[in-house]
Homo-oligomer: A and B are copies of this chain.
Amino acid sequence: MSEAESTPLEEKLTAPVRAAIDESAYGSWRSIATEDAVSLSFGFPDPDLFPQSGLAESVDAVLAEEGDEALQYGAGEYREELRSYLVEQERERGIDFDTHDLLVTNGATHAIDTVCRAFLDPGDTIIVEAPTFMGILGVFRNFGVDIVSVPVDEDGMIVEQLAAKLRHRRERGAEPPTFAYTIPDFHNPTGTTLSRERRERLLELAEEYDFGVLEDGAYSDLWLDAEAPPPLATMTDSERVIRVGSFAKTLAPGVRMGWLTAPKRIQEATETVAAGGTNTFTESFVGHYCESGQLDDNLPAIREAYRAKRDHMLDELEENMPAEVEWTEPAGGFFVWVTLPESVDAEAMLESAAEAGVTYLPGPMFYPGDGGENALRLSFTYVKKDEITAGIEALAASIAQAR
């Protein structure tokens, strides 16, 4: 917003919003798609797994059974059934609904944004993994907060590095962070999972240094080998954890439904700030769909499809990658994180990679500050197996050329 004179109304935008407009991450990554290259860029589900006819049937059933009520303010019973279904799911994960409550949201990002609105004042500090979900960095920027980033290895966030940072902050008299944002299960973008020991240690630190934990479970149901350790929200009685879930990866992104579970009074606070309400008609037909058991019934097939794709991508990496290239072996989720030789700049390589026939997201996008220059994220879920083959071969050729 700097190229022309500001209008009077622009002058009134909040300072964090003015700063965020310039930094907006989404604009840049959308432009990377090219028609002729295999896209390993986007964290899109496999569209062949979308339950089109099931959702259409649920729309018809809700309208037939509930009539006008389904379209009125408040909606009808099926909306309640969505909530009951989600509460039951979360209870099965181990969340205590005597002390916790659930809020349905317009997607997981909306849930996280709502938590931010409840808690963040400009100048507050939050903790994130580095790398982390790039889309959420834009959300955090809107709040004008300081971001402390903690590196990730094969067991997720390196919690002892967080401990050191917290110790230093305390020594110099800094305020406690507001919360730590983590994707403990099948992390975006690295595919790694936070170990049970580190989960326990993170919760100890939250207690010792007085911060909350915002646990993003967007990929939790998409375990491919074995379930992840229990949610952080179930491992403590301290009422410090807010857990976020999403239908985007298991049902379809287009329904834009997510939820959060939080200690009761925190849920109340998020409900107060989640202005405008949710899409009650969508809640109704998704509720019908879930209650029919179809979502649960589909999960094994979804896991099977992604397991095959993941295995194929790992095989192709093994077969094609030059020496000195490393990659993660995700036990679930959507992503493989590739680390190139230090001399290779993943962002600079993208243009030639696209010409060679593959696109990916360069590492720096996932860092709140510097980092990830020689890394990139691959998604194995959206593409077909032969595209994975072609994409990894093109990537290998590009790396060989760039070294």
Copies of this protein, total: 2
Do B269 and A21 have beta carbons less than 8 Å apart? yes
Q: Give the CA-CA distance A273 to B267 in the complex, in Å.
A: 22
- Judged by a CB distance under 8 angstroms, whether A304 is at the interface is no
Distance in angstroms from A45 CB to nearest chain B CB is 8
Stretch at the interface among A279-287, A328-336, A363-371: A279-287
Using C-beta atoms within 8 Å of the partner chain, give the interface range for chain A: 35 or more
Output the nearest chain B residue to A283 by Cβ-Cβ distance. Answer: B254
User: Within 8 Å of chain B (Cβ to Cβ): is A215?
Assistant: no
CB <8 Å contact, A276 and B47:
no
Tell me how far the C-beta of A146 lies from the nearest C-beta in chain B, rounded to whole angstroms.
Answer: 15
Indicate whether A315 reaches chain B with its CB closer than 8 angstroms: no
Q: Knowing A20-B272, A50-B71 touch, does A8 contact B210 (C-beta < 8 A)?
A: yes
State whether A276 touches B72 (Cβ < 8 A): no
> What residues of chain B lie closer than 8 Å to A150, measured between beta carbons?
none
Known interface pairs A1-B265, A12-B212; 14 further A-B residue pairs with C-beta atoms within 8 A, sorted by A's residue number: A20-B272, A21-B272, A24-B272, A48-B68, A50-B72, A52-B68, A71-B252, A106-B276, A107-B276, A117-B117, A252-B281, A254-B281, A256-B282, A281-B282
Query: Could you list 20 A-B pairs, sorted by A, with CB under 8 Å?
Result: A1-B269, A7-B240, A7-B266, A9-B212, A9-B266, A12-B178, A12-B212, A13-B269, A14-B117, A20-B273, A47-B68, A50-B72, A59-B59, A75-B254, A107-B276, A139-B275, A254-B281, A256-B279, A256-B282, A282-B282
